[in-house]
């Protein structure tokens, strides 16, 4: 049996033994419509799955299908550019712009010793600020201007529109995660008054027969609060259950896969741990992803919340800020952030 056949057999075995209810599909339409009791009902489901796989799927989210489709199409168009044009927008110290193949080796995985770079390329986008914005003028850490291709105005327009819609929608779910931790729904409101969000476009070329420890995106956990991933046309994302099996989220067109990140893990004192996940593109065509990462403001203190600590369960983490935490992991995982890095 070939390596590809073995991998496919192992994947099929994992799928057969996985409980299809482990990653639920949740209707968030009532929450977005401010229906009475909707937040409490959603919070119960969020609490259950966040304490298990840390993944869920949301439907009726209000993001227009055309907006999502246009973002995917423009991402594919960008990655089809020649290497010289993409490298003209190469990533810098603030992790904004184009990250070429070989630019990221995930070194903070809790489940795998990743030794090879991800077999993928990316493009990072943050909030689109004007050159005279105070955060730009004052050179606030981790904040800089986006790097747009000058001759692709429709690319910029599509991404700014998608970013804005996602930022608005994702913030609406934060109260449900607060309620899931038995906190007032507005507990996180100050930290998310001006959230730090990143849109990452990713291109995964076909990888039908990956070698040992080779992944499109190696096993990892996310650094932010919660991540929203529009469903890709092709499969590839795999989630590690607490029992160690790798399963796939339900593939429901028009929905978003949502997962918890390290910031929620720290707030919750590991009640809601971030879940390892990976990507392998075993399809015979390129796969594209457009994850949107929602995090608190850089300067917000991240400390264990009162409902998740007790004399028998003391805080596992010292307070920090999202900016300090993110900066440390960027230096750990990205070649351009390290001494002598090509894109420093």
Is 284 within a domain? Answer: yes
Characterize the bridge pairing of strands 277-279 and 287-289.
unpaired
Per-residue pLDDT at 145 exceeds 90: yes
Find the domain containing 256 and state its range: 3-337
- The answer to whether 248 and 235 are in contact (CB under 8 A) is yes
- For residue 294, the cross-strand partners are 197, 226
Q: What is the pLDDT of residue 185?
A: 98
Pick from 101, 223, 104, 93: which is nearest to 145 by CA? 93
C-beta neighbour count of 78 within 10 angstroms: 22
Is 62 within a domain? Answer: yes
Question: pLDDT, tens digit, for every residue of 73-83?
Answer: 999 999 999 99
Is 343 within a domain? Answer: no
Structure tokens at 219: 């096993």
pLDDT band at 17 (very low <50, low <70, confident <90, very high): very low
Beta strands in the chain (DSSP E): 25-27, 55-59, 97-99, 121-125, 196-204, 217-220, 226-230, 237-240, 246-247, 256-260, 277-279, 287-289, 292-295, 301-302, 320-321
The pLDDT of 100-105, averaged and rounded, is 90
Is 344 within a domain? Answer: no
CA dihedral 198, 108, 142, 340 (to 10 degrees): -130
Q: What is the pLDDT of residue 67?
A: 98
Is 13 within a domain? Answer: yes
Radius of gyration, alpha carbons of the chain: 20
Structure tokens at 239: 């989630």
Per-residue pLDDT at 27 exceeds 70: yes
CA dihedral 35, 271, 52, 14 (to 10 degrees): 140
Percent of the chain predicted with pLDDT > 70: 90
pLDDT band at 106 (very low <50, low <70, confident <90, very high): confident
Please give the Cα distance from 207 to 65 (Å, whole number): 28
Pick from 173, 169, 172, 179: which is nearest to 268 by CA? 179
Per-residue pLDDT at 1 exceeds 90: no
Characterize the bridge pairing of strands 226-230 and 256-260.
antiparallel
Q: What is the pLDDT of residue 324?
A: 86
- pTM equals 0.90
Helix (H, G, I), strand (E, B) or coil at 260: strand
Higher pLDDT, 343 or 109: 109
Per-residue pLDDT at 165 exceeds 60: yes
Tokens 């630019």 belong to which residue?
103
Pick from 86, 134, 130: which is nearest to 343 by CA? 86
- The answer to whether 252 and 235 are in contact (CB under 8 A) is no
Structure tokens at 280: 């392998």
- The answer to whether 126 and 166 are in contact (CB under 8 A) is no
Helix (H, G, I), strand (E, B) or coil at 25: strand
Is 125 within a domain? Answer: yes
Q: What is the pLDDT of residue 325?
A: 85
Longest dimension (CA), the chain: 60
Pick from 116, 48, 111: which is nearest to 240 by CA? 111
Question: pLDDT, tens digit, for every residue of 259-271?
Answer: 999 999 999 999 9
Question: pLDDT, tens digit, for every residue of 208-243?
Answer: 889 899 999 999 999 999 999 999 999 999 999 999
Is 131 within a domain? Answer: yes
Q: What is the pLDDT of residue 118?
A: 94
Pick from 263, 274, 267: which is nearest to 309 by CA? 267
The number of domains in the chain is 1
Question: pLDDT, tens digit, for every residue of 280-335?
Answer: 999 999 999 999 999 999 889 999 999 999 999 999 999 999 888 877 766 665 55
C-beta neighbour count of 298 within 10 angstroms: 20
Is 342 within a domain? Answer: no
Q: What is the CATH number of the domain that holds 239?
A: 2.60.120.330
What is the full DSSP assignment across 173-212? THHHHHHHTTS-TTTTTTTTSS-EEEEEEEEE---SS--T
> Within the chain, how many helices (H) and strands (E) appear?
10, 15
């Amino acid at each position: 049996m070939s390596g590809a056949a073995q991998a496919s057999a192992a994947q099929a075995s994992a799928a057969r033994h996985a409980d299809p209810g482990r990653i639920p599909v949740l209707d968030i339409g009532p929450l977005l419509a401010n229906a009475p009791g909707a937040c409490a009902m959603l919070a119960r489901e969020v609490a259950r799955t966040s304490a298990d796989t840390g993944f869920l799927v949301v439907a009726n989210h209000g993001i227009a299908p055309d907006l999502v489709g246009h973002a995917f199409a423009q991402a594919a168009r960008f990655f089809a550019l020649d290497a010289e044009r993409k490298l003209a927008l190469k990533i810098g110290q603030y992790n904004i712009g184009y990250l070429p193949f070989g630019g990221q080796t995930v070194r903070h995985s809790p489940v795998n010793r990743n030794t090879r770079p991800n077999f993928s390329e990316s493009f990072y986008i943050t909030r689109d600020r004007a050159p005279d914005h105070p955060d730009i003028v004052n050179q606030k850490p981790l904040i800089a201007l986006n790097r747009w291709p000058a001759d692709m105005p429709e690319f910029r327009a599509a991404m700014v529109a998608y970013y804005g819609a996602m930022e608005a929608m994702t913030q609406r779910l934060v109260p449900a995660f607060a309620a899931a931790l038995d906190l007032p729904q507005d507990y996180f409101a100050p930290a998310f008054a001006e959230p730090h969000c990143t849109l990452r476009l990713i291109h995964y070329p076909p990888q039908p027969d990956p070698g040992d420890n080779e992944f499109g995106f190696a096993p990892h956990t996310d650094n932010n609060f919660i991540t929203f991933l529009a469903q890709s046309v092709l499969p590839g994302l795999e989630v590690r259950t607490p029992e160690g099996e790798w399963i796939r989220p339900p593939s429901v067109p028009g929905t978003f896969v949502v997962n918890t990140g390290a910031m929620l893990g720290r707030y919750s004192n590991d009640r809601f741990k971030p879940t390892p996940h990976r990507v392998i593109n075993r399809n015979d065509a390129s796969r594209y992803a457009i994850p949107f990462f929602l995090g608190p403001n850089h300067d917000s203190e991240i400390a264990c919340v009162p409902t998740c600590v007790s004399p028998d369960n003391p805080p596992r983490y010292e307070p920090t800020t999202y900016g300090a935490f993110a900066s440390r992991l960027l230096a750990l995982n990205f070649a351009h952030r390290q001494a002598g890095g090509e894109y420093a």
